[in-house]
Copies of this chain bind each other. A is one copy, B any other.
Amino acid sequence: MVRNESARTGGADYRPMNEASLPAYLAGIPEVADRLGGTSVDWTVAEVGDGNLNLVFIVRGPTGVLIVKQALPYVRLVGDSWPLPLDRSYYETQALLTQGRHAPGLVPVVHHFDATMALVIMEFLTPHVIMRKGLIGGVEYPRFAATLAEFMAQTLFKTSDLYLPAAEKKAQVAVFCANTELCRITEDLVFTDPYRIAKLNHWTTPQLDDIAAEFRVDGPLKAAAQAMKLKFLSQTEALVHGDLHSGSIMATADDVRVIDPEFAFFGPMGFDVGALIGNLILAYLSQDGHATAQDPRIAYRAWILRQIAEVWTLFEARFIELWNTEGKGDAFVAELFADDAGRAALAVEQKAYMRRLFEDTLGFAGCKMIRRILGLAHVADFETIADPDVRARGERKALRLGRRLVVDRTRFADVDALCAAVVEAAKQV
């Protein structure tokens, strides 16, 4: 059960750690010291944070290796001109614990949380690589689609009204309501800034200047993006990860984990599914920039496309399966659907439910694609393409398709129609 202890995160004793100060601090936590083995002089620390917000240390000892993640009181990507509350570390830890309970083995294990220091100590994943890097490198991850489908089905279903008693869910909603600052970043950067002049926006210029200007006066697109924002603001369907892109996934050939849920809050399920699929589409449309004569990426593109179809198809099937076998929540009270007529009617309603979720998924996927090209935070899939003309060609395809997904999200028959649209987008000049 999540409790609201966020008020005590940070405080006067907070101080950012560094490679020199961390061992002495960790030596004071017996459970952690035991895992590392030896004494603090035997430990090596390396700061490896390459994300936008936090300090991340790898700590190695004679018998164990750990990750220490500490929140900074500002956005690391931008600097201390953009303050950010330390309690995001609390929400991340709570989300990790909740996800770990519902999807054991699919997120890092939490060993220790220190509210004062806004610091969480967790399992070191090795030899895992951030999946986005793998997607740029052309690496296939055989366990990806099944694992992410399972992760999303379990974590979304089991934090929804289909599984939880209303009072328990509302108590959790109330806790995560306070994670407003992180939500605000999404609200601004994903749904609003790409459609207006905003200081932090940037794009491949001058190649995309025309389409960036076009989007800023595209009434139907702006209205549709804001309709998705309203869903983000007012639908407390489930505890969503909130930032479920390929940079929040660590993978090897036989293991896949989801990390970094500091944007977690109760929101629309489609926001997670859409983030994942939108980022797969970006990976697909960036492959031209990574193809070489030896490695034209034709088979790899086909693999990405299959992942898009599979992750949705497996997620949908698993979600319905959980609903039918563990649907003990206050919505769709199981007792009402125990007879044949009830079962048949529930199956029809479940189909309608998944259809709505599919449309949400497309809308959020489109918003996420557009913001990664016109907004503040871009993706390495495109940023690592050195030739700006090649990069911009792919980005333009992603912008056009993103717009279709947002504006026409109700017009895609199914995930095959989505995949066909991705292939078609890639072929455009």
Contact = CB atoms under 8 A, between A and B. Distances in A.
B229 A337 contact: no
Interface string A338-356: 0101111110110011000
Contact of A236 (B236, B330, B335, B346): B236
Contact of A174 (B177, B187, B230): B177
A217 B333 CA distance: 14
Given A170-B177, A227-B349, A345-B219, A161 B233 contact: yes
Nearest to A350: B223
Contact of A337 (B169, B181, B222, B353): B222
B192 A166 contact: no
A348 B226 CA distance: 13
A222 B345 contact: yes
Contacts of A170: 177-178, 180, 183
Interface string A214-244: 0001111011101101100111110000000
A99 interface: no
A331 B192 CA distance: 9
Nearest to A407: B345
A195 interface: yes
Nearest to A167: B180
B184 A166 contact: yes
Nearest to A227: B349
Nearest to A343: B219
A345 B166 contact: no
A287 interface: no
A178 B341 CA distance: 36
B187 A226 contact: no
A328 to B, nearest CB: 14
Given A178-B170, A226-B349, A331-B229, A336 B195 contact: yes
Contacts of A330: 187, 229, 233
A226 B160 contact: no
Contact of A220 (B229, B230, B345): B345
Interface residues of A, number: 55
A175 to B, nearest CB: 8
B331 A226 contact: yes
B331 A217 contact: no
A329 B342 CA distance: 41
Contacts of A344: 219
B166 A171 contact: no
A237 B345 CA distance: 27
Contacts of A349: 223-224, 226-227
A215 to B, nearest CB: 11
A171 B161 contact: no
Given A219-B344, A223-B348, A341-B217, A235 B233 contact: no
13 contacts: A166-B184, A196-B333, A217-B341, A217-B342, A219-B337, A219-B346, A222-B342, A223-B332, A223-B337, A223-B345, A233-B331, A234-B237, A235-B236
Interface of A: 160-162, 166-167, 169-171, 173-175, 177-178, 180-181, 183-184, 187, 192, 195-196, 217-220, 222-224, 226-227, 229-230, 233-237, 330-333, 335-337, 339, 341-346, 348-349, 352-353
Given A171-B178, A217-B342, 17 more contacts: A160-B234, A171-B177, A171-B180, A187-B330, A195-B336, A218-B341, A219-B345, A219-B346, A220-B345, A222-B342, A223-B337, A223-B342, A223-B345, A227-B349, A230-B331, A233-B330, A235-B236
- Chain A to chain B: the 7 pairs with minimum beta-carbon distance, closest first: A219-B345, A219-B341, A174-B177, A223-B345, A230-B331, A223-B349, A174-B174
